[in-house]
Amino acid sequence: MSVLKIYNTLAREKQAFSPIVPGKVRMYVCGMTVYDYCHLGHARVMVVFDMVQRWLRASGLEVTYVRNITDIDDKIIKRAVENGESISSLTSRFIAAMDEDAAALGVQKPDHEPRATAYVPEMLGLIKKLETNGLAYTGADGDVNYSVRDFHGYGKLSGKSLDDLRAGERVDIGSGKKDPLDFVLWKSSKQDEPEEVKWDSPWGKGRPGWHIECSAMACKLLGEQFDIHGGGQDLQFPHHENEIAQSEGAHQHRFVNYWMHNGFVRVDNEKMSKSLGNFFTIRDVLKKYDPEVVRFFILRAHYRSPLNYSDAHLDDAKGALTRLYNALKEVGPDSNPPDLQEAYALRFSEAMNDDFNTPIAIAVLFDLANEINRTKSSALARQLKYLAGIIGLLQRDPQEFLQGGAMSAASDSGFGEMVKAKIEARTVAKRNKNFAEADRIRAELLADGVVLEDKPGGVTEWRKV
């Protein structure tokens, strides 16, 4: 079997993956800031790194997967105050919504989902180490800041010199900073802030900055050095750059061996943003498309490529996934164990080991489906279902997916019964040689998004368009 290679953002090249502890992988992914519903960018992060951890496990590795939850942040405080509710009430509500969205997309739960508010003591300990090492200072405004120019490796992840860099969008340049690039480790409490966001510290009451959260949680759960750190491309700078500065500045050694970043989501070739009015939550999209279609759409693009969202692309993904399910509907898998040395399985593994190349892996699935359609081989059907299952696809009953699955049931519990009644009426019309009526019923169902397929023996099956 081929060796897994991962594109390491830090090295700017694909590198053979060699875990720190043989046979074990420790992976941390930056999760969501929970003040609103998850959007398509969040969906991509969740699905991509779910696919990564699935493949690592399928390759026989023991994985510890951590994806954090940021439940204290400026945006969270602002939204809670606007709503007139507590921070914990707001974040609990949107964590529950995030879990629902993730489950719908077939995303398995990480091994650990640490919430930032539960790790404040660890953050304080990390800040104290940075202060001891001469990398943190208290400004005139009471905030504790990181002194960027005193960390000699700053900029190595983003590949920019200090003079090229500017403070990130989420960093406030206050009067208490020595340098505009310096970022906040500990924010001094403001009088008008809710009491529940004020913690005691050696520097007075306050709350953690955004970046220190991930350094502290990752260190606590995975150790001072671990294998893989992932997240969206937008986090490369400043968030991940600052994580490196904090963690390596505190511990005086390498923080992460492999950095992975998934590409942006674009909408009709423009960057998704609320200001452009092209911003879609996962819930918006799932009102129109089956969750597995959305997952398939995300995985059909390479994780590092831009992902261009449009209804046309989702419709195409639906048609493609339908072709795979049709192959399994026509030929059921046999019950034998999968053959990992069979040609299609080897090609699939080769693709996945090449920096998780899901477009090529999915192309293998289509080759398998074509061969199933030609040979009617139940052994190949078993291979198709097994290989697709590794990346979280094709595990439903084919007929259930083809008839709209959970979507149609959720939108109209009587939809299936209506279709069956019309099929029965059409069968009666054909029996009575009233072919005009039979054609009318077929056209009526097609207008409702239902395609009829007449099978041998007088059986009629249906599926959603």
State the number of CA atoms in the 13 A half-sphere of 14 facing the CB: 10
User: Cα(23)–Cα(62) distance, rounded to whole angstroms?
Assistant: 6
Instruction: Find all residues with CB under 8 Å of 355, minimum gap 6, and list them.
Output: 5, 6, 7, 14, 302, 304
Residue range(s) of every CATH 3.40.50.620 domain in the chain: 5-266
Does residue 219 have a known ligand-binding role?
A: no
Residue 35 CA from chain centroid, whole number: 18
Note the residue count of the chain.
465
Residue 221: enclosing H or E segment and its boundaries? helix 210-222
In this predicted structure, what is the pLDDT of residue 462?
Answer: 82
DSSP label of 117:
G
In the sheet that 136-138 helps form, which strands lie side by side, from edge to edge? 136-138, 144-146, 183-188, 206-208
In this predicted structure, what is the pLDDT of residue 176?
Answer: 83
Answer whether CATH 1.10.3210.10 is correct for domain 5-266. Answer: no
In the sheet that 256-262 helps form, which strands lie side by side, from edge to edge? 62-67, 24-29, 226-232, 256-262
Does residue 274 have a known ligand-binding role?
A: yes
Beta strands in 287-399 (DSSP E): 307-309
Q: Which CATH class is domain 311-402?
A: mainly alpha
Residue range(s) of every CATH 1.20.120.640 domain in the chain: 311-402
Write the DSSP assignment of 296-307 as a string of letters: HHHHTS-TTS-E
In this predicted structure, what is the pLDDT of residue 170?
Answer: 42
Phi, psi of 206 (to 5 degrees): 180, -160
pLDDT (tens, 9 = 90+) of the chain, 465 residues, equals: 689 999 999 999 999 999 999 999 999 999 999 999 999 999 999 999 999 999 999 999 999 999 999 999 999 999 999 999 999 999 999 999 999 999 999 999 999 999 999 999 999 999 999 999 999 999 999 999 999 999 999 999 999 888 777 544 344 555 689 999 999 999 999 988 999 999 999 999 999 999 999 999 999 999 999 999 999 999 999 999 999 999 999 999 999 999 999 999 999 888 887 777 788 999 999 999 999 999 999 999 999 999 999 999 999 999 999 999 999 999 999 999 999 999 999 999 999 999 999 999 999 999 999 999 999 999 999 999 999 999 999 999 999 999 986 444 445 556 777 787 778 778 777 777 887 777 788 877 876 778 887 877 677 878 776
Are 91 and 113 spatial neighbours (Cβ–Cβ below 8 Å)?
Answer: no
Does residue 420 have a known ligand-binding role?
A: no
The residues that bridge with 453 in the sheet, in sequence order, are 461
Residue 312: enclosing H or E segment and its boundaries? helix 311-330
Annotate 98-120 with b (16+ C-beta within 10 A) or e (fewer). Answer: beebbebbbbeebeeebbbbebb
Does residue 214 have a known ligand-binding role?
A: yes
